[in-house]
Amino acid sequence: MIFGLVSLICGSSQTPVVPMNAPITQDVLTLPRKLPDSGRVNIVGLTRDQLRQALIDAGTPEKQAKMRVGQVWQWVYHWGVRDFAQMSNLAKDYRALLAERFEIILPEIVTRQISADGTRKYLVRIAGGHEVETVYIPEEGRGTLCVSSQVGCTLTCSFCHTGTQKLVRNLTAGEIVGQLMLARDDLGEWPVPGAPKDETRLVSNIVLMGMGEPLYNFDAVRDAMKVCMDGEGLSLSRRRITLSTSGVVPEIARTAAEIGCQLAVSFHATTDEVRNVLVPINKRWNIATLLDALRDYPRLSNSERITFEYVMLAGVNDSDEDAHRLVKLIEGIPAKINLIPFNEWPGAPYKRSSNNRIHAFADIIYKAGYASPIRTPRGEDIMAACGQLKSATERGRKSRAEIAAEVG
């Protein structure tokens, strides 16, 4: 789970306790995914090359395949059409062929909550009946969609609520792209043929900061972002896509080469001793190894800078010494530091740093020449933190199951 847009807004009077033996990944059994077998290929999430091959396999003459890809692509990803019969620039018999061999299927919105500040949280059901969360955050001049890449999470970051939920499975590329398409449906953002062109983008940015570690689902995330970045469809610039990782070092160079989006890192500590507890993947790839990989990223990806996400935990990682160490560690890396006030959740072993401590920490970083924005919580009234509603759903299912057992 990436903490960028995460965590819950419940108070706690607990004294911070640091669990010292958190595993790197959970010891879990991944459940097999049972997809409905319609016999048709879902177009959503296929890259252009994959769609071309699928059309050829379905009987499209190879010489026509590139043209057909362009036509279908525009209908699905520019106009948001879900019915092949509406693809009016295709011959009737070809539309029938598409309907016989293909489908356009998105995940299902189970619930939608809208905050007083405009934040929208969607509980989304995917194949197999599993659920993930997607959060839309409107801001002045832009709108950001936080998407999930896994059901649950492989990691066990001790401050992250979603990290307490077992990994079930990776999302497919279609399920990742589908979250963006569902949000555009809900916001009414698809263009209308014949209407004046509207340059306003309600969803102008994507952050891969929802449930899961994106770099542990690299191929699906890469293919989904290729679809999202395509200029003839959803048309999101790679500079408006941010992938957040806990530090899966071997995949960082691949991200630069094969996706080229902006990168955020769940950093959260300035010593290996503390980061081993907060972000246990640090036991595998420590701070020095991670920073070595990050130094090359802006050059390899042609991105401007890396975002370091830093959750503020009282008495754990928020001292002046931590701030000075952080500045020293990232020296030479084009960077900004996002300071995230910890949002406590039931049973959380940490407390949020005080406002004075957070601002003192930010001031040290700012005076060293780095941007150090303090994130403003959004959607607090609907608890729009990734992982929260899913947790409530799981608890509800368990209660119903227990009741059913009791009554026989």
DSSP 132-144: EEEEEEEETTEEE
70 and 141 in a single domain? The answer is no
Crossing angle of the two packed helices 173-187 and 218-229, in degrees rounded to 10: 40
In this structure, which amino acid lies at residue 293? A
**Same domain assignment for residues 54 and 188:** no
Task: Tell me, yes or no, whether 315 lies in a domain.
Answer: yes
Confidence (pLDDT) at 175: 98
Tally of CB atoms within 10 A around 264: 22
| Residues in Cβ contact with 331 at an 8 Å cutoff, skipping those fewer than 6 apart | none
- For residues 179 and 328, membership in a common domain is answered with yes
**Partners of residue 109 on adjacent β-strands:** 124
Q: Among the three residues 103, 132, 148, which one is the final residue of a domain in this structure?
A: 103
Q: Supply 394's token pair.
A: 């799981």
Number of independent structural domains in the chain: 2
d(CA 62, CA 53): 9
Q: What is the mean pLDDT of residues 166-194?
A: 93
Amino acid making up residue 154: T
* Residue 179: how many other CB atoms lie within 10 Å: 29
In a domain? residue 74:
yes
Q: Are residues 291 and 311 in the same domain?
A: yes
Q: In 10 A of CB 193, how many CB atoms?
A: 9
Q: What whole-number distance in Å separates Cα of residue 54 and Cα of residue 72?
A: 12
Provide the pLDDT for residue 405.
Answer: 45
What pairing do the DSSP bridges indicate for beta strands 108-114 and 120-125?
A: antiparallel
Query: Mean pLDDT across the stretch 32-54?
Result: 85
Q: How far is CA 105 from CA 118, 123, 181, 185, in A?
A: 27, 17, 10, 13
Q: Is 133 a catalytic residue?
A: yes
**CB count, 10 Å around CB of 396?**
10
Q: Is 213 a catalytic residue?
A: no
Mean of pLDDT values over 29-49: 76
Spatial CB neighbours of 100, under 8 Å, sequence gap ≥ 6: 40
Determine the Cα–Cα distance for residues 284 and 326; give it in Å rounded to an integer. 20
Could you give the C-alpha distances from 131 to 177, 206, 263, in angstroms and in order?
15, 19, 26
Q: Are 292 and 251 in contact, with CB atoms under 8 Å apart?
A: no
pLDDT digits (tens, 9 = 90+) for 107-162: 999 999 999 889 999 999 999 999 999 999 999 889 999 999 998 887 778 777 66
Could you tell me if 353 and 290 lie in one domain? yes
| Confidence class for position 261, pLDDT limits 50, 70, 90 | very high
User: Could you say which of 103, 128, 147 is where a domain stops?
Assistant: 103
What DSSP assignment string belongs to 57-90?
Answer: HTT--HHHHHHHHHHHHIIIIIS----GGG-TTS
Question: 64 and 116: one domain?
Answer: no
- 60 and 181 in a single domain? The answer is no
**Residue 24 falls inside a structural domain:** no
Q: What is the domain-level CATH number for residue 76?
A: 1.10.150.530
Instruction: Give the CA angle between residues 333, 350, 358 to the nearest 5°.
Output: 50
**Strand bridging mode 306-312 / 241-245:** unpaired
Domain match, 312 and 399 both: yes
In a domain? residue 18? no
Position 291 in a domain: yes
Residue where one domain finishes, among candidates 62, 81, 103:
103
DSSP 263: E
Quick: pLDDT tens for 12-33: 333 344 444 444 544 444 444 5
pTM of the model: 0.86
Q: Which of 131, 133, 213, 309 is catalytic?
A: 133
Is residue 282 in some structural domain? yes
What string of DSSP letters covers 94-160? HHHHHHHHEE----EEEEEEE-TTS-EEEEEE-GGG-EEEEEEEEETTEEEEE--SEES-SB--TT-
pLDDT of residue 345: 74
Give the model's pLDDT for residue 394.
53
Apex 172 CA angle, 46 and 121, nearest 5: 110
Same domain for 88 and 192? no
Centre a 10 Å sphere on the Cβ of residue 232 and count the other Cβ atoms it contains.
12
Domain for residue 28, yes or no? no
Backbone angles phi, psi at 266, to 5 degrees: -75, 95
Q: How far apart are CA 43 and CA 40, in angstroms?
A: 9
Q: Are 205 and 69 contained in the same domain?
A: no
Helices 62-73 & 48-57, crossing angle to 10 degrees?
A: 130
Q: pLDDT digit string (tens) for 78-121?
A: 999 999 999 999 999 999 999 999 999 999 999 999 998 899 99
Residue from 153, 157, 261, 386 carrying the catalytic annotation: 386
**Which structural domain range is residue 322 located in?**
108-403
Domain of residue 171, CATH code: 3.20.20.70
Residues 87, 205, single domain; the answer is no
Specify if 126 maps to a domain: yes
Q: What is the largest CA-CA distance in the chain?
A: 70
Measured CA to CA, the distance from residue 236 to residue 262 in angstroms comes to 12
Q: Output the pLDDT for position 307.
A: 96
Amino acid identity at 317: N
Are 63 and 175 contained in the same domain?
A: no
